[in-house]
Amino acid sequence: MTQAIQKIDRSASSPALVEAQRVLKEEANALLLLSEHLSVSFDNAVETILEVKGRLIVSGVGKSAHIARKIAATMASTGTPAFFIHPTEASHGDLGMLTREDGVLLLSNSGETAELSDMIAHTKRFGIPLLSITGSAKSTLSKESDVALTIPPVSEACPLGLAPTTSTTAMLGFGDA
């Protein structure tokens, strides 16, 4: 049994409610912008993932790691064998789990996350397809990737601009699409 969503009485909006509405609108606008900027790279990413005979290994650092975990879980839930490896663990022995049959998806808003360098090098050394989601098409990660997805320029919803909010929502949108 579903409950009807109660309409908010906007005449009595608290500052917290107003801020929450602003954040949600900003993140919704980022997803709309992302949908309008999808390109052939998205098709290429889907095809590359479908061609992987092994597993899709997904990784990132910081907030990108949280999004990477969610993307890996979604892929696994929908029939694509996938799992998350933390790049630090990968650099300390877990790269041995990756095979030429696998694919790797790395997430980094800057595309310059140093902790991902060993994973990038490993994919190149063994011919493992490398996909990425970044906020910069000119980044090292984008340039090294076989398929690079770039989120459009978005401002973070955090009033201080410190916490990744809108950018992580856009990355999650790519993963869910």
Residue-wise pLDDT tens digits, 78-113: 999 999 999 999 999 999 999 999 999 999 999 999
CATH number at residue 101: 3.40.50.10490
Q: Is the pTM of this model over 0.95?
A: no
Q: Which domain holds residue 152?
A: 40-176
Whether residue 65 contacts residue 40, with contact meaning beta carbons closer than 8 Å, is answered with no
Domain membership flag for residue 142: yes
d(CA 13, CA 111): 39
**What phi and psi values does residue 4 have, to the nearest 5 degrees?**
-70, 140
What pLDDT digit, counting tens, does each position of 44-73 carry?
A: 999 999 999 999 999 999 999 999 999 999
